[in-house]
Structure 1
Amino acid sequence: MSGGPRPGPRAAAAMALVPVKRRRTAAAAGPVLPEAAEPGRFPGVVLCLVERGLGARRRALLAGRARAAGFCLHGPGSAAVTHAVAEQCSADEALAWLARRRGSTPGDRTETSTGLALLDLSWLLESLDAGRPLDIEPRHRLPVSGVTPSKEPDPAVLPAYGCQRRTPLAHHNAMLTEALETLARDAAFSGDETRSLAFTRAASALKALPRRLGSLRDLAALPGVGKHCRRVIQEVLEDGSSAEVEAVRRSERYRTMQLFTGIFGVGTRTAASWYQEGLRTLADLRATGPRLSRQQQAGLQYWEDLATPVTLAEAEAIRELVQAEAQRILPDATVTLVGGFRRGKPMGHDVDLLLSHPEEGREQALLGPLVASLEQQGLLLYQQRQPNTFGQEPSSSSMDQFERCFAIARLALPGAGDPGAWRATRVDLVVAPRSQFAFALLGWTGSRHFERELRRFAGRQRGLALSSHGLYDPQREMFLPATTEEEIFQLLGLDYVAPTERNA
């Protein structure tokens, strides 16, 4: 029994993440910044991008974005430079780099004597987002060597993207975030993804705060908090609750949508259509019989079990069982517990397992025999497999295209008193080739909003396309290889964020 259809030559090339199109070596690093350039749209602002910390490729990408936005760029030898932008280095290190490029010593030119602003990359990125040079704030200036900035984030200077912030599982503003997330879900139930995302981004920023929000003054520069969110937050701070949020929670539509979308195989659109038809309860759904898909019938049949949270111990027991069977079928196969459990959650509603093998291509022979064996042992109550379609057909979906199996497993309950006691548990088995494993691990760890922000950052700030399959550079028309999550963050120019701090 195979693990799904074997991909053709095109798919195999994509899966190996080799360059789609070769280019001359000289072009790979991007254009060299000139020593002089045409005047930009902003008089008095002449940028120089310090390669130290940025690297040649990212420097070239940023230069292209800056020129397109109307900024004037000069090389380090130009006396006209007013703003030197660097990343991951101190003011002294940036000056030393500039001096070496000019053939002088670092002491020949200082920010004080020339008016040269030594700035962190955050200033340029925020300016590009704004479409103009922003006023320089203290947080934008490069630190002086030997001075270690405080690690505790200031509410007024939280980074704009959720993937730049550390968000622990337990935070200080649960009452506020629960209110905003209720409105986010309600907007999603209505099909308004833009409004849903606005509430989600505001909640994400609040989760990253190092302390409890005390007043609306602390929201002044908090990213992603608009007027509607401010109004809700003010209500909760002053009254302990929001009338709008409580009305949503009491509404029949919200409660019904919560119930229906909690069923395995039921999405927002399906739930909304059922509500429009007058369905309100599980009994109503059961009465529809054949109208339900096979997946939805299984979700409804085992609803009580599937609605009961899975503990970390139960998730680990399932992982160990699957790993033992996988390694019996394919020696050295690996099975990794991902999703919320990898982010530190003690409970969840399903178990996500990422399967792979150290030898590229061997993983293709794993899932089919594994699922068949688990079924023969009576451990699967339902299963639906999907083949790997990566590289075979274009897809605009945010979902990845790995080979996978959506399943409901039979989990034994040894402490229940009855030797035959069991419960149904949702399990997803996802197979990733070794060349894509780091990206799959990052994507399947979540949280969903952290991943959304990571991909938004990659596209807007780096000009790259990130997915659970790889990091694609459209300028060079190739995938950038990485074997660990740390390497992916490094390619994006981001500080590494541990899984337990990705609960955005």
Structure 2
Amino acid sequence: MVPLKRRKLVPSHAGNTGTNLSGEKVPAKFPQVVLFLLERKMGASRRAFLSQLGRKKGFQVEEMLSKSVTHLISENNSGAEVRAWLDSQDQKPAHLLDISWYTESMREGHPVEILDRHKLQDQRINEAEVEVFSVPSYACQRRTTLDNHNTTLTDALSLLAENAELSDEEGRGVAFRRAAAVLKALPKPVTSMSQLRGLPCLGEHSLRVVKDILENGASSEAESTKQSGRYNALKALTGIFGVGAKTADRWIREGIRSLQQLQDSGQTLNRAQQAGLEHYDDINQPVTKAEADAIGEIVERAVVSVLPGAQMSLIGGFRRGKLTGHDVDFLITHPEEGREVGLMPKVVARLESQKTTRNSYLESNDGPARPASNIDRFERCFSIFKLAKEEKRGATQPETLTENGVQILQTKPARHKPWRAVRVDLVVSPISQFAFALLGWTGSKLFERELRRWAGHEKAMSLSSHALYDNKQISESDVGGGDICTSWFGVHPTVREERLTRLLSPYRRTKRSPI
């Protein structure tokens, strides 16, 4: 091996400062750790990027080798090669480390403990010895634990998925969501790209993001997205209740990129959007389980008072076991088929509504009207609930506002007591479809998508929030074997839900309520 050109020694104080995001000099957080990145086999541009990243994280990174260097970082070099080069430099840092120690330290935000695997080896590690993960192809077949061992990877992919969804690129958003779901299901942290060989749903783009994080401690694409003016504008504007990505995109093209600019623009907002803008901070604050339970008691009293015997279930993220969420969802039904028809306007009226408007389920003699969205055809009410924080449960007096089919439920707080606005969604389902509605509205969105994809591809069935159909048109006599078809509408609802749950039981997620 031909030694590299001997580097000029520099004073030890050359690299004891870093730069923050504004480019200002800041003291190093870890003065006892002085790093030097070996350019050999790493390349000048990559070394410059990694050095800058380290300084932003508060590490002291020297541009040139000096006597103050304590940790030499190398990539794709053996211990023998680095020691031979150091002999020519007449320098011997205390630690000769592989790039993996550096990337793990970047990820954690502080120098991690030096393990044997971090030290430069005379022989490169055989990739065949690295543990390779394996997971099922469909998200609904995986036991997804609540403990995510790859948060840094999944957070970056989820951010890119959100950006794609806000940019009306649904396909790309789904791809990132599926990749993040695979990484969440892994039992251990990913430390090498070779561990991901053969895993499903990891496309080239997602793998590039993962590789960038493993090598550099962060995804340059994700960091760039965080700083994107368009992404931040879309996120802020779509955070307004009643504003979707297309409306936000139109406003951005008109030069509106913030809430203040929207207020100053004179844009005509419907009543739902006005309420969303007024209660923006509250709506974008997580809802707690205690708040969900308090709202549930108020709504349930209103439901039972107008239709005795009606049943209400908490759905959405809280039913999956989450402790916080962005809204509260309830599914309402009645044991007698048909009794639920027209229930929503009565519930809204019971909550002292000022007016009611058309809903989407079974409101004409010709059958269901065109639904407000493609989720399902159930009667639903998307609302903002004004909940008193310190008021005793049952002492609230609700008030309802309505705009374009969206009910804005408000609960007047007691005088001199604080309140907060909470998003509340109400859904009414006939009992014959309750099991499917309960499954469909429990989520998550990706889990439901994957479950329906699995039903279609693997079982030749069509699953929706209304029913599960056998695409092969099996006869009723075949149902006893565990298959489900349209004849299930004649089965008692409790038995139907038990069968549906039993069919899906091998794929239930751990630490979740049964689906």
- State the TM bucket, normalised to the shorter chain: 0.5 to 0.7
* 2:499 aligned with 1:471: no
Structure 2: distance between partners of 1:275 and 1:474: 45
- Structure 2 unaligned segments of length 5 or more: list them: 1-130, 392-412, 475-484
* 2:386 aligned with 1:410: yes
Q: Residues 398 and 208 from structure 1, CA distance in 2 versus in 1: closer, same or farther, beyond 3 angstroms?
A: farther
After superposition, residues 73-152 of structure 1 pair within 5 angstroms as none
Q: 168, 192, 210: which one pairs with 1:191?
A: 168
Q: Residues 389 and 225 from structure 1, CA distance in 2 versus in 1: closer, same or farther, beyond 3 angstroms?
A: farther
Q: Residues 502 and 321 from structure 1, CA distance in 2 versus in 1: closer, same or farther, beyond 3 angstroms?
A: closer
Structure 2: distance between partners of 1:213 and 1:385: 51
Residue type of the alignment partner of 1:182: L
Tell me which residue corresponds to 1:386: 359
* 2:222 aligned with 1:245: yes
User: Quick one: percent identity of the two aligned structures?
Assistant: 48
Cα deviation, residue 501, structure 1: 4.5
After superposition, residues 431-450 of structure 1 pair within 5 angstroms as 431-450=428-447
Q: Alignment partner of 1:364: what SS? A: coil
Cα deviation, residue 463, structure 1: 1.7
Tell me which residue corresponds to 2:154: 177
Tell me if the contact between 1:408 and 1:424 (Cα under 8 Å) persists in the aligned partners: yes
Structure 2: distance between partners of 1:387 and 1:318: 24
Tell me which residue corresponds to 1:73: none
Cα deviation, residue 168, structure 1: 3.0
Structure 2: distance between partners of 1:167 and 1:499: 6
Tell me which residue corresponds to 1:495: 506
Q: Alignment partner of 2:144: what SS? A: coil
Q: Residues 397 and 465 from structure 1, CA distance in 2 versus in 1: closer, same or farther, beyond 3 angstroms?
A: farther
After superposition, residues 200-211 of structure 1 pair within 5 angstroms as 200-211=177-188
Tell me which residue corresponds to 1:420: 417
Q: 209, 220, 227: which one pairs with 2:204?
A: 227
Q: Residues 470 and 192 from structure 1, CA distance in 2 versus in 1: closer, same or farther, beyond 3 angstroms?
A: same
After superposition, residues 309-388 of structure 1 pair within 5 angstroms as 309-375=286-352, 386-388=359-361
Tell me if the contact between 1:410 and 1:424 (Cα under 8 Å) persists in the aligned partners: yes
Q: Residues 458 and 313 from structure 1, CA distance in 2 versus in 1: closer, same or farther, beyond 3 angstroms?
A: same
Cα deviation, residue 216, structure 1: 1.1
Tell me if the contact between 1:338 and 1:354 (Cα under 8 Å) persists in the aligned partners: yes
Q: Alignment partner of 1:187: what SS? A: helix
Provide TM-score, normalisation by structure 1.
Answer: 0.63
After superposition, residues 256-335 of structure 1 pair within 5 angstroms as 256-289=233-266, 291-335=268-312
Residue type of the alignment partner of 1:402: F
Cα deviation, residue 421, structure 1: 2.4
Q: Deviations over 1:109-143 (max 9, x none)?
A: xxxxxxxxxxxxxxxxxxxxxxxxxxxxxxxxxxx
Structure 1: distance between partners of 2:419 and 2:212: 46
Q: Alignment partner of 1:392: what SS? A: coil
Structure 2: distance between partners of 1:298 and 1:178: 31
Q: Residues 229 and 383 from structure 1, CA distance in 2 versus in 1: closer, same or farther, beyond 3 angstroms?
A: farther
Tell me which residue corresponds to 1:144: none
Residue type of the alignment partner of 2:508: V
Tell me if the contact between 1:442 and 1:485 (Cα under 8 Å) persists in the aligned partners: no
Residue type of the alignment partner of 1:294: R
Q: Residues 318 and 183 from structure 1, CA distance in 2 versus in 1: closer, same or farther, beyond 3 angstroms?
A: same
Structure 1: distance between partners of 2:330 and 2:199: 36
Cα deviation, residue 244, structure 1: 1.0
Q: Alignment partner of 1:172: what SS? A: coil
Residue type of the alignment partner of 2:287: V
Q: Residues 499 and 389 from structure 1, CA distance in 2 versus in 1: closer, same or farther, beyond 3 angstroms?
A: farther
Q: Residues 214 and 418 from structure 1, CA distance in 2 versus in 1: closer, same or farther, beyond 3 angstroms?
A: farther
Q: Alignment partner of 2:352: what SS? A: helix
Cα deviation, residue 383, structure 1: 7.9
Cα deviation, residue 291, structure 1: 2.2
Cα deviation, residue 230, structure 1: 1.2
Structure 1: distance between partners of 2:446 and 2:250: 26
Q: Alignment partner of 2:181: what SS? A: helix
- Structure 1 unaligned segments of length 5 or more: list them: 1-153
Structure 1: distance between partners of 2:278 and 2:270: 12
Tell me if the contact between 1:363 and 1:431 (Cα under 8 Å) persists in the aligned partners: yes
Structure 1: distance between partners of 2:419 and 2:352: 16
Q: Residues 393 and 422 from structure 1, CA distance in 2 versus in 1: closer, same or farther, beyond 3 angstroms?
A: closer
* 2:449 aligned with 1:452: yes
Q: Residues 299 and 395 from structure 1, CA distance in 2 versus in 1: closer, same or farther, beyond 3 angstroms?
A: closer
Structure 2: distance between partners of 1:426 and 1:301: 13
Cα deviation, residue 190, structure 1: 2.2
Cα deviation, residue 304, structure 1: 1.8
Residue type of the alignment partner of 1:268: A
Choose between structure 1 and 2 for higher RCO, CA contacts under 8 A separated by at least 6 residues. 1
Tell me if the contact between 1:432 and 1:440 (Cα under 8 Å) persists in the aligned partners: yes
Structure 2: distance between partners of 1:360 and 1:404: 18
Cα deviation, residue 241, structure 1: 0.6
Q: Residues 408 and 442 from structure 1, CA distance in 2 versus in 1: closer, same or farther, beyond 3 angstroms?
A: same
Provide TM-score, normalisation by structure 2.
Answer: 0.62
Tell me if the contact between 1:305 and 1:424 (Cα under 8 Å) persists in the aligned partners: yes
Structure 1: distance between partners of 2:358 and 2:420: 22
Q: Residues 383 and 365 from structure 1, CA distance in 2 versus in 1: closer, same or farther, beyond 3 angstroms?
A: closer
Greater helix content: 1
Structure 2: distance between partners of 1:259 and 1:315: 24
Residue type of the alignment partner of 1:468: S
Structure 1: distance between partners of 2:247 and 2:132: 40
Structure 1: distance between partners of 2:324 and 2:194: 35
Tell me which residue corresponds to 2:99: none
Residue type of the alignment partner of 1:487: R
Residue type of the alignment partner of 1:259: A
Q: Residues 400 and 268 from structure 1, CA distance in 2 versus in 1: closer, same or farther, beyond 3 angstroms?
A: same
Cα deviation, residue 215, structure 1: 1.5
Report which of the two structures shows the higher radius of gyration computed on alpha carbons: 2
Q: CA RMSD in A?
A: 2.8
Tell me which residue corresponds to 2:427: 430
Structure 2: distance between partners of 1:467 and 1:284: 41
Tell me if the contact between 1:155 and 1:222 (Cα under 8 Å) persists in the aligned partners: no
Structure 2: distance between partners of 1:502 and 1:169: 13
Tell me if the contact between 1:473 and 1:480 (Cα under 8 Å) persists in the aligned partners: no
